[in-house]
């Protein structure tokens, strides 16, 4: 894959993509449990929440539809960057998800080398 440089447009965190959070993500960054936009109730105990998340396939959603991620700062950086969810770690500038998110925000396609 060519070398793409993220231009910090923030489109991938602004709700253009569903951002899923799993139990390991919440163990690493407990703040994720308080910021989700899932239909799950927020006042369930942490243990109940973790028990639910440990069931295969269950996750929280922290961004999607009209809702931007609560950790997206005004300058489009991530407030929990060192402990962000795995799905965010796996996101690569220039990949299909990146380009889709940019398209949804009316931004031009990201080009290799930041051009
Ligand atoms: S959509 Fe792509 S270019 Fe924009 S912030 Fe996300 S990874 Fe970077
Ligand atoms: S946790 Fe950080 S990288 Fe992940 S969607 Fe939210 S702001 Fe973006």
Chain segment 2-45, per-residue pLDDT in tens: 799 999 999 999 999 999 999 999 999 999 998 999 887 777 88
Q: In this structure, is residue 113 part of a structural domain?
A: no
Q: In this structure, is residue 1 part of a structural domain?
A: no
Mean pLDDT value across the chain: 92
Indicate which residue's Cα is closest to atom 5 of ligand 2: 13
Q: How many domains does the chain have?
A: 1
Show the domain range for 87: 11-104
pLDDT computed for residue 1 by the predictor: 64
Q: 11: which 2 tokens?
A: 């489109």
Ligand whose nearest atom lies closest to the CA of 91: 1
Mean pLDDT of 41-58: 86
Atom of ligand 1 nearest to the CA of 76: 5
Mean pLDDT of 76-101: 97
Asked if 87 contacts 20 with a C-beta cutoff of 8 angstroms, the reply is yes
Q: In this structure, is residue 114 part of a structural domain?
A: no
Q: pTM of the full predicted structure?
A: 0.91
| Cα(87)–Cα(27) distance, integer angstroms | 15
Indicate which residue's Cα is closest to atom 2 of ligand 2: 78
DSSP 8-state symbol, 72: B
70 alpha carbon – ligand 2 mean position (Å): 8
Q: 95: which 2 tokens?
A: 């990949």
| Cα(55)–Cα(75) distance, integer angstroms | 36
């Amino acid at each position: 894959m060519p070398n793409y440089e993220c231009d910090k447009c923030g489109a991938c965190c602004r709700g253009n993509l569903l951002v899923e959070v799993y139990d390991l993500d919440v163990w690493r960054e407990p703040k994720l449990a308080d910021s989700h936009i899932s239909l799950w109730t927020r006042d369930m105990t942490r243990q109940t929440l973790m028990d639910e998340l440990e069931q295969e396939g269950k996750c929280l959603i922290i961004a999607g539809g009209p809702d931007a991620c609560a950790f997206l700062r005004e300058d489009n950086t991530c407030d929990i960057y060192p402990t962000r969810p795995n799905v965010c770690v796996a996101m690569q500038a220039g990949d299909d998800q990146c380009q889709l998110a940019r398209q949804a925000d009316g931004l031009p396609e990201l080009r290799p080398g930041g051009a």
